[in-house]
Amino acid sequence: MKRNLIFLLSASAVAAAVLVGSPPPYLMHILVQILLWATIYSAWTLLGRFGIMSLGHGGFVGIGAYGVVLLWNLLGVSPWIGVLASVVAAMLVAFVVGYPCFRLRVVGHNFALVTLALAVVVQLAIVAAREITGGSLGLTPRTESLHPLLALQFGDDKNIAFVFALVLWLIGLWVWTWLDGSMTRLSLAASSEQEDAAAAIGINVAREKLKVLLMSAALASVGGSLLGQYLMFVNPDTFSGAPVSLQILYASVAGGMYTALGPMVGSALTLALTEYLRVFFGTKLIGAANTIYGLMLIIFVIFMPQGIWGTISGALGRRRARGFQPAVRSASTPHPALTGPSDESKRDF
């Protein structure tokens, strides 16, 4: 608890310093985006750290971003309420897909692909409903005439956006640490090693997974809502679909899934890197920046499987990254010759 307090104080101190020092708008713009994406990545790691790979988070972000703007533009529902409504919608979708998945034990690659389908459905639905969503062209929220904050819009004031993003990120961190210290984490760590054994000692595996999925979807949705409100523009490519899901996966894993600050490191590094490469290469060599980005991803995965932050904190040996560490598959699963061919290892042609 004390550590959390110290962290909170130092975070507010840094935030105050940033606000007082008033860095150039471009830097603030990057900072706000880093914080908002870090929240979304944190949301993903809630589940991802247990080896439950959701590729559906692009969908939840899309529901959050579009939900708010559509409710505001079409029905005039205040975005303050819209955020909550989108959270409910995201959780509902997460439940509809997650509950059967976890009950029927759709795990591993299959879970990743079912959730990928979810993200694609959200994206295609946004594109298909182009009468109200603007299709691939995207959508701009109506501006509020009285005061932008009444419509949860930040106008040109990057400082307010920064405070909002920071608070949301801290809430995400709080959820992360709360989960880290809860029984749920132990249950899920156990079930990610041996699901049957975990169920046998009385863990309701499906319920625990669903609980975390719902939290994760809600947080990702709020992140998406605020990101849309901050950028004042939503489009299906940056807010939904498979590429966004993959981006979430990369950055989370690049930063490190098993530490609270890992997603932040992932978000800061990936955004800083893309911005740097973008500025460095300018518009001359379109694609050069992302080529290097992709190459670095491959190299990272091969040489730094614990993520950047995980590798650093592991190397410093200060504190072992808490939480479940994935065992190398061959070490944790018994040799198939000992157990006989399971239906998973046996494939027919």
Partner 1 sequence: MDVFLLEAMVNGILLGGVFALLAVGLNLIFGVIDVVWIAYTELVMAAMYCVYWLHVIVHLPILVACLLAVAFATLLGTLVHFLIIAPILDAPPINQLLATGGLLFFLQNVATLIFSTDFRSVGVRMPSVDLAGMHIGTARALAFAVALVAVACLYLFLKRSFWGLAIRGIAQDRHIMGLMGIDQRVAYGITSAIGGLLAGLAACLLVLQYDVQPFIGNSFGPIVFMICVFGGLGNLVGGFLSSFIVSEIIAISGYYISTDISYVFAFVAFIVVMFIKPRGVFSK
> 99 vs 233, which CB is nearer to partner 1?
99
> 181 vs 282, which CB is nearer to partner 1?
282
Three-state DSSP state, 274: helix
Q: How far is the CB of 2 from partner 1 (least distance, A)?
A: 34
Q: How far is the CB of 84 from partner 1 (least distance, A)?
A: 26
- Burial classification of residue 260, based on how many CB atoms lie within 10 Å of its CB (0-12 exposed, 13-18 middle, 19 or more buried): buried
> 77 vs 288, which CB is nearer to partner 1?
288
> 156 vs 348, which CB is nearer to partner 1?
348
Task: Please report where in the chains the tokens 């919608």 appear, as a residue.
Answer: 89
> 282 vs 305, which CB is nearer to partner 1?
305
Report d(CA 159, CA 205) in Å as an integer: 43
Q: How far is the CB of 135 from partner 1 (least distance, A)?
A: 9
Report which of 253, 301, 304, 312 is spatially closest to residue 41, judged by C-alpha positions.
253
Q: Is 218 within 8 Å of 87 (Cβ atoms)?
A: yes
Q: How far is the CB of 116 from partner 1 (least distance, A)?
A: 6
Angle at 228 (CA atoms; ends 224, 230), nearest 5 degrees: 115
Q: How far is the CB of 281 from partner 1 (least distance, A)?
A: 10
Report which of 319, 222, 245 is spatially closest to residue 57, judged by C-alpha positions.
245
> 145 vs 330, which CB is nearer to partner 1?
330
Report d(CA 231, CA 322) in Å as an integer: 35
Q: How far is the CB of 338 from partner 1 (least distance, A)?
A: 10
> Alpha carbon of 3 to those of 9, 31, 117, 173: distances in Å?
10, 24, 40, 13
Classify 143 in phi/psi space as left (phi over 0), alpha (psi -120 to 50) or beta.
Answer: beta
> 147 vs 347, which CB is nearer to partner 1?
347
Q: Which residues bind partner 1 (CB under 8 A)?
A: 48, 51, 53, 97, 100-101, 104-106, 108-110, 112-114, 116-118, 120-121, 124-125, 127-128, 130, 242-243, 246, 249-250, 253, 285-291, 293-298, 300-302, 305, 326, 328-330, 335-337, 341, 343, 345-349
> 10 vs 339, which CB is nearer to partner 1?
339
Helices assigned H by DSSP within the chain: 2-21, 25-48, 57-70, 79-103, 108-128, 130-133, 158-180, 183-193, 195-200, 205-231, 236-239, 242-255, 262-281, 288-303, 308-316, 329-332, 336-339
Q: How far is the CB of 294 from partner 1 (least distance, A)?
A: 3
> 159 vs 339, which CB is nearer to partner 1?
339
Q: How far is the CB of 200 from partner 1 (least distance, A)?
A: 21
Report d(CA 248, CA 13) in Å as an integer: 28
The structure tokens listed for 62 are: 């899309």
Q: How far is the CB of 207 from partner 1 (least distance, A)?
A: 17
Angle at 124 (CA atoms; ends 85, 44), nearest 5 degrees: 55
